[in-house]
């Protein structure tokens, strides 16, 4: 049996398009939790398009992360903590022209240059309900 361990920290950020760019401040932070699900493991093929490429991906339809809107250091009193969540699924891609490309990122933790690897997760906006 394969075990998938994924650690992800998601913060609001933006790709720097010019030296005068400021990082994103109007989007929530997300804290991601690993999850298990009783949903059968099946794959669905989808066409995906992002700023780097358009490609086919097989999305494994068993969730691996639940990301919740998070108020960091009591910095956003208006944040709806019960608002839109993200559920992330692993995926296998056929192609990814972004791979190997360098991007500069700036956020509240600083700025850095990163090299893009293969796309691994597809995170979709989701509603979450707590059972009674």
What does the pLDDT profile of the chain (132 residues) look like in tens digits? Answer: 343 333 343 334 344 344 445 666 677 889 999 999 988 788 999 999 988 888 889 999 999 999 998 888 877 777 787 778 999 999 988 766 677 889 999 988 899 999 988 888 999 999 988 887
Q: Output the pTM of the full model.
A: 0.75
Q: What are phi and psi of 117, to 5 degrees?
A: -105, -170
Residue 43 φ then ψ, to 5°: -115, 145
Residue from 107, 60, 54, 119 nearest 87 by CA: 60
């Amino acid at each position: 049996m394969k075990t998938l361990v994924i650690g992800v920290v998601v913060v609001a950020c933006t790709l720097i398009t010019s030296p005068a760019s400021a990082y994103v401040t109007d989007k929530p932070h997300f804290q991601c939790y690993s999850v298990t699900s009783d949903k059968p493991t099946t794959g669905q093929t989808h066409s995906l398009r992002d700023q780097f490429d358009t490609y086919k991906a097989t999305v494994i339809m068993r969730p691996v992360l639940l990301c919740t809107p998070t108020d960091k250091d009591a910095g956003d009193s208006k944040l709806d903590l019960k608002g839109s969540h993200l559920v992330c699924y692993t995926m296998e891609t056929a192609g990814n022209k972004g791979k190997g490309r360098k991007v500069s990122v700036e956020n509240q933790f600083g700025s850095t240059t990163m090299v893009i690897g293969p796309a691994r997760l597809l995170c979709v906006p989701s509603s979450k309900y707590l059972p009674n």
